[in-house]
Amino acid sequence: DEGKKYVPAGTVYPTNDAKAIGVTINDVYVNDGAQLVGVIREGWLLSDQMPVTPSAEAIKAMTTIHFKDLSTPIISDSGH
């Protein structure tokens, strides 16, 4: 991005493996070193909108993040 280093929104954080805890919410420019970044740790996401598809290990590690476009069961709480 114009010679700037950044971590794009939607990046599995901190790594796309079994150490994953969430997904970044905003682009973060890191030209000047480490920066604070907001991380989604719970919710529903679309993996096809992410810059890199989460690995199977990352998906398993992020137990409170669910992906609407992946084949995961959706549990209804409607009581029916």
Residue type, 61: A
Confidence of residue 80 (pLDDT cuts 50, 70, 90): very low
Q: Is the pLDDT of residue 4 over 90?
A: no
Distance of CA 11 to the CA centre of its chain: 5
pLDDT at 1: 55
Query: Using one digit for the tens of pLDDT, what is the confidence trace for 9-68?
Result: 999 999 999 999 999 999 999 999 989 999 999 999 999 999 999 999 999 999 999 999
Distance of CA 52 to the CA centre of its chain: 9
**pTM over 0.85, yes/no:** no
- Rounded Cα distance between 43 and 27, Å, is 19
Provide the 3-class DSSP secondary structure of residue 57: helix
